[in-house]
Amino acid sequence: MTAAPENESSGNAFPVGMSVLLLDDYPISLEILEFMLQQCCYHVTTTSKAGTAWELLREGTQKVDLVITEVRLADISGFEFLELVAKEMDIPVILMSEDSDTRLVMKGIKLGASDYLLKPIRMEEVKTIWQHVIRKKKKLKARRRTNVVDKEEVNSKEARKDQVEGCVEEEKVGKKRKGPSWEDDKENDEGSSPNWNRYD
């Protein structure tokens, strides 16, 4: 596994210095794409083994903004690696392959791939891969806002429910504390006999 040194201009505005994890078990392809990525001022870490790439991601010792992986790997397929990343991390993954089979392309997109690049990859495509990182971040922000709104709605409903239950309970207590009603007084008057002795 090789990691390119931090670009001197990495302090500049994004996407300069964007960190890319490149996974490909074709040495020549790996070397060419690494060079192209570095020409775009990206910080590149390369490996030919999916297991090594996965360990690097899980450890989190090195920042990774984007993963680019070959579909056909020796240890596991690029699709399997994509699924692993998608389940545990919010990092965009781009698949690449010499195979232009539409079924493979659609499979990758359905599994969550940000893009499917056909080899040989053109420089124009490499220059714009940073856009996938921006899109991913926007989706995450939108998802978080939605979660916050949903949580606030749940809390509001629970507060209203508690308020209603409190009012009902107060009403029950109030009824128990009340004295005899007018109906009770009426029944008492009707049930009592007049005192005739006072007319004697």
Q: Is the dihedral of CA 99, 72, 133, 32 positive or negative?
A: negative
pLDDT on residue 182: 47
| 8 Å CB contact between 65 and 42 | no
Q: Model pTM?
A: 0.69
pLDDT on residue 190: 54
Q: Which residue has the higher pLDDT, 3 or 163?
A: 163
Long-range contacts of 117-125 (CB under 8 A, 24+ apart): 117/68, 119/29, 120/32, 121/33, 121/36, 121/96, 123/36, 123/39
Asked which of 4-18, 135-149, 160-174 is least confident by mean pLDDT, the reply is 4-18
Q: Judge whether residue 195 has pLDDT over 60.
A: no
Mean pLDDT of 37-59: 96
The chain-wide mean pLDDT, for the chain, equals: 83
Distance from C-alpha of 71 to C-alpha of 77, rounded to nearest angstrom: 6
Q: Judge whether residue 134 has pLDDT over 90.
A: yes
Q: Judge whether residue 44 has pLDDT over 80.
A: yes
Q: What is the CA radius of gyration of the chain?
A: 35
Helix H or strand E encompassing 94: strand 93-97
Pairing mode of beta strands 93-97, 66-70 = parallel
Q: Is the peptide bond before 15 cis (omega within 30 degrees of 0)?
A: yes
Residue holding tokens 């005739």?
196
Size of the chain, expressed as the number of residues it contains = 200
